Each structure stands twice: as C-alpha cells, then as structure tokens.
Amino acid sequence: MGKIRMMVYVVITLLVSIFVVISGLSQDDVKTVEDSAFEEKMRPPVPFLHDEHNEKAEIEECNVCHHVYEDGEKVEDDSSEDQECSDCHTLNKGDNPLSLVKIYHLQCRGCHQEKKAGPIMCSECHPR
Ligand code: HEC
Ligand code: HEC
Ligand code: HEC
Ligand code: HEC
C-alpha cells in the first residue's frame, strides 16, 4: 500500500470508529430494555423503541423515566439518562421496598394503566 492510501485508510477507520462510539451512546439506538443487572433472564428482552415510543406517547421530559431524587423528593430539573435503572435500583429488595423488576413494571405498566394506552398484559411486553 502507498503512503497516501495508507493514510486515507487510517483516517477512514478512525472516523468510522468515532461514529460507532458516538451512536453507541445515543438513545435512538435503544430498541429494547435489557438491564444488565438481570443475570439470568426468564424472558427475552422487552421491545421498546425508545425515541418512537416517547414521541407517540408525547412524553416531553426525560426525567419522567430517568429521574433523580433527593431526600425522597423528585428533583424537577435534573435527570439520570447516563445511568441504568439498576445503578440505583438493586436487583433484590434489600433495604429498598422495590426490586428491579417491580420498578420497571411500576414505571412502564403504571403509566400505561394511568393513560389507558400502551401494553398491560405480560405477553404484550414479553413476547415469547
Ligand atoms: C418512557 C421512559 C423513558 C423516557 C421518557 C426516556 N427514556 Fe431514555 N431510556 C429508557 C429506558 C427504559 C432505557 C434503557 C435502560 C436500560 O436498558 O438499562 C433508556 C436508555 C437511554 C439511554 C441509554 C442508551 C444506551 O445505549 O445505554 C440514553 C442516553 C437515554 N435513554 C436518553 C434519554 C433522553 C435524552 C430522554 C429525553 C429526551 C429519554 N431518554 C427519555 C426510558 C426512557
Ligand atoms: C440516580 C438514581 C436513580 C436512577 C438512575 C433511577 N431511579 Fe428510580 N428512584 C430512585 C430513587 C432514589 C427513588 C425513590 C424511592 C426509592 O428510594 O426507591 C426512585 C423511585 C422509583 C420508582 C417509584 C416511585 C415512582 O417514581 O413511581 C419507580 C417506579 C422507579 N424509581 C423506576 C425507575 C426506572 C424504571 C428507572 C430507569 C429508567 C429508574 N427508576 C432510574 C433513584 C433512581
Ligand atoms: C409516562 C408514560 C409512559 C411510560 C413511563 C411508558 N410508556 Fe409505553 N406507552 C405510553 C403510551 C401513552 C403509549 C401509547 C402510545 C400510542 O400508541 O398512542 C405507550 C405504548 C407503548 C408500547 C406500544 C408500542 C409503541 O412503541 O408505541 C410499548 C411496547 C410500550 N409502550 C412499552 C413501554 C415500556 C417497556 C416502558 C418502560 C420502559 C414504557 N412503555 C413506559 C406511555 C408510557
Ligand atoms: C409494560 C410492559 C411490561 C409488562 C406489561 C410486563 N412487563 Fe415484565 N418487564 C418489563 C420490563 C421493561 C422489564 C425489564 C427487562 C430487562 O431489563 O431485561 C421486565 C422484567 C421482567 C422480569 C425480570 C427479567 C426476566 O426476564 O427474568 C420478569 C420475570 C417479568 N418482567 C415478568 C412479567 C410478568 C409475569 C408480567 C405479567 C404479569 C409482566 N412481566 C408484565 C416490562 C413489562
């Protein structure tokens, strides 16, 4: 390979990897909920087309889901989208009254029940 071709090759490879890194951190790529804390899952990943879902559901604020609490109160102008739910909510109950499964069900199904829109049945969120 000539020197110039080599340089072009190196630059392109760099650009591609930068793109992959950036898009890997973007929420448009989120198509399922697959919390890494569940070690042995009983069910396949839950389909969740992040951006499309939130547009259809007309949810404006990220912290409707990615919330932050302080002294038991939700902080209105802060959000936690840089964290997984399980960074704060442990797999098993422990000291917390809500296990990781419960918080997902409370948030997802809870809103669907309240809004009378979106899936409520197990099999609608957990396709076999
Ligand atoms: C209806 C709830 C909900 C709303 C509203 C929401 N998100 Fe998310 N978001 C999630 C869930 C659930 C995940 C996946 C969590 C997991 O698998 O750990 C996620 C994941 C993410 C991720 C992580 C992507 C990755 O690759 O790890 C980012 C970044 C993110 N959301 C940003 C945002 C931003 C920015 C907003 C507001 C514009 C927003 N979210 C609104 C529920 C929501
Ligand atoms: C930065 C830490 C943090 C992150 C990240 C976080 N939570 Fe929470 N969450 C809390 C705290 C603190 C509370 C208050 C009650 C408690 O101590 O469990 C709470 C309460 C809840 C509750 C019960 C009250 C309510 O709002 O209905 C649900 C449900 C919940 N979280 C779901 C989620 C989901 C789903 C995610 C991921 C999309 C998430 N949380 C991410 C800290 C967090
Ligand atoms: C704050 C309210 C709210 C929360 C939280 C929420 N949803 Fe929804 N969801 C909706 C609404 C409203 C619809 C119906 C949208 C429509 O089609 O008009 C919906 C629809 C859906 C659908 C049907 C297909 C689609 O994408 O429109 C799926 C699947 C779904 N939600 C999964 C989830 C999961 C999984 C979570 C938790 C990670 C979640 N939702 C959290 C409000 C919410
Ligand atoms: C509105 C959507 C929704 C509905 C309805 C729902 N779930 Fe879930 N469930 C979730 C999400 C989101 C998670 C987190 C998945 C993950 O991170 O892998 C979850 C996690 C789980 C888990 C732990 C992860 C695993 O695979 O072992 C179990 C078990 C589970 N759900 C069972 C049920 C059962 C049983 C029902 C019906 C009574 C039900 N779910 C209804 C959304 C839903």
Phi first, then psi: give them for residue 111, nearest 5 degrees. Answer: -70, -40
Long-range contact set of residues 43-48: C-beta below 8 Å, sequence gap at least 24: 43/126, 44/126, 44/127, 44/128, 46/108, 46/125, 46/126, 47/125, 47/127
Instruction: Give yes or no: residues 6 and 64 share one domain.
Output: no
Instruction: Give yes or no: residues 86 and 66 share one domain.
Output: yes
Lowest mean pLDDT among 16-30, 33-47, 75-89: 16-30
Into how many domains does the chain fold?
Answer: 2
Q: Atom 28 of ligand 1 has which residue's CA nearest to it?
A: 27
Instruction: Give yes or no: residues 38 and 53 share one domain.
Output: yes
Q: Is the pTM of this model over 0.85?
A: yes
b or e along 95-117 (b: 16 or more beta carbons within 10 Å of the residue's beta carbon)? eeeeebeebbeeebbeebeeeee
How close is the Cα of 66 to the center of ligand 1, in Å?
A: 7
**Ligand 4 pocket test: which of 30, 36, 104 has the largest number of ligand atoms within 8 Å of its C-beta?**
104
Instruction: Give yes or no: residues 15 and 72 share one domain.
Output: no
Instruction: Give yes or no: residues 118 and 77 share one domain.
Output: yes
Tell which wins on pLDDT, 113 or 98.
113
What is the Cα 62 distance to its own chain's centre?
11
How close is the Cα of 16 to the center of ligand 4, in Å?
A: 36
Instruction: Give yes or no: residues 20 and 74 share one domain.
Output: no
Ligand 3: does its nearest atom lie under 6 Å from the Cβ of 85?
no
Domain that holds residue 114: 31-125
Phi first, then psi: give them for residue 69, nearest 5 degrees. Answer: -115, 150
Instruction: Give yes or no: residues 82 and 118 share one domain.
Output: yes
Q: What CATH number did the domain enclosing 116 receive?
A: 3.90.10.10
For residue 34, which amino acid is it?
A: E
